[in-house]
Amino acid sequence: QQQVKQSPQSLIVQKGGISIINCAYENTAFDYFPWYQQFPGKGPALLIAIRPDVSEKKEGRFTISFNKSAKQFSLHIMDSQPGDSATYFCAARTQGGSEKLVFGKGTKLTVNP
């Protein structure tokens, strides 16, 4: 049972373009939705996160859009750069005392110069 479904599996965009990665979930007990960025040979690192009481959060060129009723959230990377080429994971955390995250399967983003 995959709790967070992520698409697409891979994405190729041109420099300056917009990259969009989508995630969907079923569990309404999730209360925190982070995105992680992973470069080859490195561990994932937190990129940006949102709570379900907010519909959008923007940090620089990165924006999360959140649709609570549809149980979907997405990452938008504006003005994509070759340095953004990485694997991106969406994740979700369940309410309660544990901090454990469930992750999507990841999207490999390639930004061509």
Partner 1 sequence: NAGVTQTPKFQVLKTGQSMTLQCAQDMNHEYMSWYRQDPGMGLRLIHYSVGAGITDQGEVPNGYNVSRSTTEDFPLRLLSAAPSQTSVYFCASSYSRRGARSGANVLTFGAGSRLTVL
CA distances from 46 to 34, 36, 50, 110 (A): 7, 4, 12, 19
Residue 101 engages partner 1 in binding (rule: CB under 8 A): yes
The residue range among 14-22, 30-38, 64-72, 75-83 that interacts with partner 1, by the rule CB under 8 A, is 30-38
Residue 98 engages partner 1 in binding (rule: CB under 8 A): yes
Choosing from 15, 51, 58, 68, the residue that interacts with partner 1 (CB under 8 A) is: 51
CA nearest to 37, candidates 29, 24, 47: 47
Residue 45 engages partner 1 in binding (rule: CB under 8 A): yes
Task: Compute the least distance from the CB of residue 60 to partner 1, in Å.
Answer: 16
The residue range among 11-19, 21-29, 40-48, 70-78 that interacts with partner 1, by the rule CB under 8 A, is 40-48
CA–CA gap between residue 79 and residue 42 (Å, rounded)? 24
CA–CA gap between residue 82 and residue 112 (Å, rounded)? 6
CA nearest to 51, candidates 64, 70, 39: 64
CA nearest to 35, candidates 45, 20, 24, 25: 45
Choosing from 34, 35, 66, 84, the residue that interacts with partner 1 (CB under 8 A) is: 34
Q: Would you tell me which residues interact with partner 1 (CB under 8 A)?
A: 6, 9, 32, 34, 36, 41-46, 49, 51, 89, 97-106
